[in-house]
Structure 1
Amino acid sequence: MTAQRTFRIAAIPADGVGVEVVAAGRTVLDALADASNGRFAFAWQEFPWGSDYYAQHGRMMDEDGLAQLEDFDAIYFGAVGWPTVPDHVSLWGLRLKICQSFDQWANVRPVEFLPGIQSPLRKADDTDLSWVVVRENSEGEYAGFGGRNFAGRGDRGEVAVQSAVFTEVGCERIIRFAFDLARTRPRKKVSSVTKSNAQQYGMVLWDDVFRRVAAEYPDVETESVLVDAMAAKFVLRPEDLSVVVASNLNADILSDLGSALAGSLGLAASANVNPERRFPSMFEPVHGSAPDIAGQGICNPVGAIGSAALMLEHFGLHDEAKAVQHAIEVTSGKGVRTRDVGGSASTEEVTAAIIENLLV
């Protein structure tokens, strides 16, 4: 049977547990497609890029890798990083290269508290908690502007300059994205995060743009919070959060805090989105490559499978995305969990349980 719609997806497992969680996510998506009665299908092409590729070729991906990826409907990414390659080389050579070159300027990281998984927050025991961190993903502190100079001065004479870049266009588009997302949620609220008391240029520009854009959304609550105060709020008043929008670095840190509060970084899904769809968007779990457990079959596939659900949303398969997320919740609620969240199930067992709960 020929599917009514086939989505072409580039799979880049990359390093460590990325290989295992991408395989898990692909298994779930293929099972979903098989049960769709030909409404849709997925055509996969896997790319062997990552730290092993670097060891052989001296680069993290093919020289024309971006051209190879450009015509896919989406990219499904695992994790990057390995002890044999400096972290800044592996990150900038693969993940950030794709994000910046494809202008995936909106990074969406939901913070979901799953049933049956204990949170370190006492408040999570009796409070319904759920929020989304929206991260500016193209400039800010990760713009890559700067350099190292004066190495010839001798001992301790070198100077490194790392510049954060904030543009009015970059600030406005991510802030407006956050407001549009807030309008779709039960609580219509956007919390803007900066450190504008200390960083008086770029982040004051962000604050100015936030106030200007907020005036166009009178139906959405707003607040502006300094990043240190927001870190405390994540712990002390998380029930007051809905959509949190922040710069590249601040949102990166805060989203990891949110995932830890939900129980594990292994649960965290994310989407690197080019909203204009000029380029493919990329979907990946937040966690790293975890060299200490790679290849043992015990890593948590939930973050990768949740990222697959975000990819389904991006494709317009909204009911299927909700079904995958519901299957994740049912599975965790039944106690089928990997050891990072207090269980004893293997990666394969959790994946199989999610598929079973998806197809009932």
Structure 2
Amino acid sequence: MSANTPRTVTATTDRHNGISADPTGARVHDVAVIAGDGIGREVVPAAIRCLDLAAARHGFGLAWREYDWGSDHYRRHGAMMPPDGLDRLHAHDAIFLGAVGAPDIPDTETLWGLLIPIRRRFSQYVNLRPVRTLPGVPSPVRGADTMDLVIVRENVEGEYSEVGGRIYRGEPAEAAIQEAVFTRTGITRVAAFAAELAAGRRGLVTSVTKSNGIVHTMPFWDEVVEQTLAGRPGVRLEKILVDAMAAKLVLAPTAFDVIVASNLFGDILSDLAGAIAGSIGVAPSANLNPERDHPSMFEPVHGSAPDIAGQGVANPVGQLWAGAMMLDHLGEPAAAADVVAAFEAVLAAGVRTPDLGGTAGTEEFTAAVARHLGEAPAPH
């Protein structure tokens, strides 16, 4: 983390409303920070700088607690986080994550050692990924200029289960078995979340499966989603196969409102949708525990991008937007809207990082956003 990282503030948390109180009585949100790997260490401090400005404008504080976990921790200790890591994270109101992954460490270690345990221990069963075209960010797809959809991805079961294994390793008969696990509870709660979200938007839920080829789990998904949405006023359900969905998302990206999908399909489609919107570098996500019994986690969709790490050219929009989603979840919608309006204004003015066809570095872009949020220009 850079020198811009705010100091840790001690606060007492009320889990029911996500608000803490400091000794002066001001409201403070207690946030765990895991910058992680690669460009995460560049875009997380950039986002924190802007989120602090938004908080100051709206009369609350953000108490950041940095955890230096990730691939460096793995190289030193053989694990992505310490044994009590999840217990320590549970004390916070939210988790702000950068990126995880390094070329010299298998993804099975980096993801299953940090990201996935957090999602599952804290029952973050909704992965929420808004996708829309932003000002000044051209889409490579014709007709996507008004694209505005949300992907609700089931986040803790489905195809990403731990059930399975490998047998006869190294032998001609070697085999790998991976079981997908779908539960009525898991499907029902994510479908209900999607329906509630759609009711406040344009009223369309698109459920994505592959029930013509995957004969047990996908028809079960279809049945439970249909039962969950039956009789909900103002909400329409359409079902589409994932291969047809991939094509239609490119051909008619404005035809969708809320897309609900399994862990694997939601993961793939959200990357595709982000690319259609102009760049995966601007895409945010929220790993939500809607009941708020546990902290939720907020992160950009992009990875650690080791090929550009340390060059100062990383796009901070995905991290900024994830931070805005975090503020909204913590009960600060006005501050969240200010953050989004600030980076949209900067993009509209033509300040863009190289992945968007511009020449601005991370610092230049962040400084421009910070000025919109009230930061005084640096003296020359």
With normalisation by structure 2, the TM-score equals 0.91
Aligned with 1:339 (options 342, 354, 367)? 354
Matched, 1:324 2:346: no
Question: For residue 5 of structure 1, what is the aligned residue in structure 2?
Answer: 27
Matched with 2:328 is 313
Amino acid at match of 2:91: D
Which aligned runs of 4 or more in structure 1 are off by greater than 4 angstroms?
A: none
Cα offset for 1:158? 2.1
Q: What is the aligned partner in structure 1 of residue 138 from structure 2?
A: 118
How many residue pairs get aligned? The number is 353
The answer to whether the aligner puts 1:264 opposite 2:279 as a matched pair is yes
Aligned match of 1:77 in 80, 93, 97? 97
Which runs of 5 or more structure 2 residues have no equivalent in the other structure? 1-22, 376-380
Q: Does 1:247 align with 2:262?
A: yes
Q: Which residue of 1 aligns with 2:56?
A: 34
1 CA distance for matches of 2:193 and 2:45?
31
Measured after TM superposition, the shift of residue 157 of structure 1 is: 2.7
1:355 aligns with 2:370: yes
Instruction: Provide, for residues 217-266 of structure 1, a one-character-per-residue CA deviation record: whole Å limited to 9, x for no partner.
Output: 13112100000111111111111100000000000000000100111111
Q: Matched residues in 1 for 2:56 and 2:25: separation?
A: 10
What is the one-letter code of the residue matched to 1:235? V
Deviations 1:3-60 (A, max 9, x none): 6211110000110001111111111111112223xx3101111111111110100011
Q: Which amino acid aligns with 2:198?
A: A
Q: In 2, Cα distance between the equivalents of 1:3 and 1:350?
A: 34
Contact 1:134–1:246 at 8 Å: present in 2 too? yes
2: CA distance, partners of 1:3 / 1:295: 40
Among all aligned residue pairs of Structure 1 and Structure 2, give the percentage whose two residues are the same amino acid. Answer: 52
Q: Conserved in 1, the CA contact under 8 Å of 2:147 and 2:277? A: no
Q: Give 1 or 2: higher helix fraction.
A: 1
5 Å matches for 1:285-304? Answer: 285-304=300-319
CA offset digits 1:157-194 (Å, max 9, x no partner): 32211111000000000000000011111x11100000
- State the shift of 1:146 in Å: 1.1
How do 1:91-170 and structure 2 match up within 5 A?
Answer: 91-125=111-145, 128-151=146-169, 154-170=170-186
The residue type equivalent to 1:271 in the other structure is A
Bigger shift: 10-19 or 209-218? 209-218
Structure 2 counterpart of 1:10, one-letter code = A
2:72 — aligned with what? Answer: 52
* Distance across 2 between alignment mates of 1:20 and 1:63: 26
Distance 1:236 1:191 in 2: 16
Task: Quote the Cα distance in structure 2 between the aligned partners of 1:71 and 1:338.
Answer: 36
The one-letter amino acid of 2:102's match is W
Distance 1:4 1:208 in 2: 48
Q: Does the 8 A contact of 1:3 with 1:40 survive in 2?
A: no
Tell me which amino acid in the other structure corresponds to 2:354: R
Q: Which secondary structure state, in structure 2, belongs to the residue aligned with residue 283 of structure 1?
A: strand
- The one of 171, 189, 193 equivalent to 1:173 is 189
Per the alignment, residue 14 of structure 1 pairs with 36
SS in 2 for 1:312: helix
**Separation (CA, whole Å) in 2 of partners of 1:142 and 1:258:** 21
Q: Distance in 2 between matches of 1:183 and 1:352?
A: 37
* TM-score where L is the length of structure 1: 0.96
The residue aligned with 1:195 is 210
Distance 2:57 2:333 in 1: 16
Q: Let me know the Cα RMSD of the aligned residues.
A: 1.3
| SS state at 1:25 partner | helix
Q: Deviations over 1:129-159 (max 9, x none)?
A: 20001000010011221111222xx533322
CA contact (8 A) 1:3 1:41 kept: no
- Residue 190 of structure 2 aligns with an amino acid whose one-letter code is I
Matched, 1:209 2:224: yes
DSSP-derived class of the 2:160 partner: strand
For the residue of structure 1 that corresponds to 2:297, the secondary structure is strand
